[in-house]
Amino acid sequence: MKISEYHNGMPSPEILVDTAVVHFDKNSRGKDFVVGDIHGMFDHLGSLLKKVSFDEDRDRLFSVGDLVDRGPQSQDALKWLQHPWFYAVRGNHEQFVIDSENEEQLNIWINYNGGEWWLNVDEPEQATFRTAFANMPLAMEVETETGNVGIVHADVPPFISWEHFVSLLESRDRDATLYALWSRNRITGQGSSRPVSGKVDRIYCGHTPTRMTVQLENVCYIDTGAVYATEGYEEAKLTLVPFDMPEAETELSGGVLIEYSGPPLGIFKLTRAMMLFTMPVFLVVLFFGGAVTAPGWWPKLIGLLAWFVLVALTIVIRNTTPRVRTDQAVRFFWGPVSLVALVAVVLAWSGL
């Protein structure tokens, strides 16, 4: 069964470990944490662990993968993997390292995906990196006080249970493996956002950078773009989530606001705030223009009341209607709304 759009031109991921999915029992001695994509920002991770008083003798730290690339301490990944309390699933950037003996994949990685640091690594250490990353599991299951947790780098395919997904990974299914490493379908609205069924209560993923952590049903995305702090993005941060906090900061995220922060994000928000008050003005002038501009105070009062009603109606709709994903909004406006607009044009043309 083909469950991934990633079929062509990619090497089949090599898995050296006996089991592609590792299970962890409940930590009865300390706390468990999961961290988003690190991308060589290990100094930031160290600072975060100090802030939460991480106890190396009792606590455990799980990672959604992408330990390397773009950040300044990518070569420290091997050192962190040697810590007995640190566990990471494989991300697509670990896969770039594994596939680096493939000339085409090496060029794609170094030129477009932050792999420049690899050029400063000698051949023996490169071999060590490949072996270490090829031994990383594709997913993890962790028992916690708040329910069972699944960890995978990118996503779980739609319409299959967690157990089915695990069985596909264990059987080295190529499509399931590539989906786990690369897919953005769920978070970009190109696939189903239904919860993942099975014995896991929630799943943590990374791969897609967002301004805040995002939760779609029981799937939590925690890559908040830490590495982009090196490029001046003020809201870029590394997210560390304790497993006893079962929800993300926001339920939905989509569209251009995912990619913006700082002044550009402020401009977007200011524009939306201005539109709340200016758009009703245009509607009143468009539909009540003649009456509003008539002499006397009564038409002005009618126009003011109409503007107030439109603003109030907009606020009520915004605060009582569930938010929709970008793809749902596009289907709605290009579907029934377009048909209504077409009918209106025909009626206007016919003089009715």
Whether 197 and 216 map to the same domain: the answer is yes
- In a domain, residue 88? The reply is yes
**pLDDT tens, position by position, 48-104:** 999 999 999 999 999 999 999 999 999 999 999 999 999 999 999 999 999 999 999
164 has catalytic annotation: no
Q: Which of 93, 153, 164, 207 is catalytic?
A: 93
**Boundary-marking domain end, from 255, 278, 296:** 255
User: What's the pLDDT score for residue 251?
Assistant: 38
Are 219 and 289 contained in the same domain? no
Statement to judge: residues 46 and 190 lie in one domain: yes
| 26 and 126 belong to one structural domain | yes
Q: Is residue 208 part of a domain?
A: yes
Phi/psi at 32 (nearest 5 deg)?
-115, 140
For residue 108, being part of any structural domain is answered with yes
266 and 127 within one domain: no
- Please give the tally of structural domains in the chain: 2
What does each C-alpha distance from 228 to 42, 149, 150, 238, 259 come to in angstroms? Answer: 14, 28, 26, 10, 11
Name the nearest CA neighbour of 238 among 250, 221, 224: 224
| Model pLDDT for residues 235-268, shown as the tens digit of each residue | 788 999 998 754 444 433 444 444 455 676 678 7
Same domain, 119 and 248: yes
Domain with 338 in it: 262-349
What is the residue-wise DSSP string for 315-345? HHHHHHSPP--HHHHHHHHHTHHHHHHHHHH
The mean pLDDT value for 5-26 works out to 77
Are 299 and 243 members of one domain?
A: no
